[in-house]
């Protein structure tokens, strides 16, 4: 067992954020809330957990993270390096990162998850070596992820909503339910 005093209350380890990625009609939107929690205390309300990475001339990539911030930044840097090595090949870069994450002693200890997307595909990356592509174009991670995922899937059946509108509305619903998610939403689109 880890030395995390909140591990018993949160056995999965996903707490303190919500990241949602929605792909619809050739567009992709990724949203993340701004709340940073330390146990039961909110320590910051405007964190930026969704970022653009990679070379924008090659289409760019949007990445969102949940988990320990320093760990997530380490993984973002590693993913950027993989994208430099494999330009325009998001899947290959993700698989290479997942291999390193699973086999490298230092990386194995990192506690974070990532959602990444380019103009064509979206993936969830975990420390277990998972590189998962959703079949419905919706990814959600973090403590409010299940709420955002359910809301986004329901909203996908509403005609006329863009990927951005679905993401904003679903994140609003998640923020109303999850105490570790706030309404300060950062949204990036491709």
Residues annotated as catalytic (active site), given as ranges:
17
- If you count them, how many residues does the chain have? 190
The full DSSP string for 112-170 is EEEEEE-SS-EEEE-TTS-EE--SSSEEEEETTHHHHHHHHHHHTTSTT--HHHHHHHH
Apex 176 CA angle, 175 and 177, nearest 5: 90
3 state SS of 187: strand
In this structure, are residues 173 and 151 in contact, taking their beta carbons and an 8 Å threshold?
yes
Q: Which residue has the tokens 């698989």?
A: 95
CA quadruple 22, 27, 32, 33: dihedral, nearest 10:
-90
């Amino acid at each position: 067992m880890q030395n995390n005093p909140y591990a018993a209350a949160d056995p999965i380890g996903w707490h303190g954020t919500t990241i949602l990625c929605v792909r619809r009609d050739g567009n992709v939107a990724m949203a993340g809330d701004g709340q940073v929690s330390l146990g039961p205390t909110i320590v910051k309300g405007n964190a930026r957990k969704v970022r653009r990475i990679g070379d924008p001339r090659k289409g760019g990539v949007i990445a969102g993270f949940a988990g320990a911030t320093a760990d997530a930044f380490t993984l973002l840097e590693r993913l950027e390096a993989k994208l430099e090595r494999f330009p325009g090949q998001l899947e290959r870069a993700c698989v290479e990162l997942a291999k390193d994450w699973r086999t490298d002693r230092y990386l194995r200890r990192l506690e974070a998850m990532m959602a990444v997307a380019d103009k064509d595909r979206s993936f969830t990356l975990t420390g277990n070596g998972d590189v998962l592509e959703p079949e419905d174009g919706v990814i959600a991670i973090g403590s409010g992820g299940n709420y955002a995922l359910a809301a986004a899937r329901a909203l996908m059946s509403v005609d006329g909503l863009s990927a951005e509108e679905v993401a904003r509305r679903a994140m609003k619903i998640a923020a109303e339910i999850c105490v570790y998610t706030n309404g300060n939403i950062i949204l990036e689109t491709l």
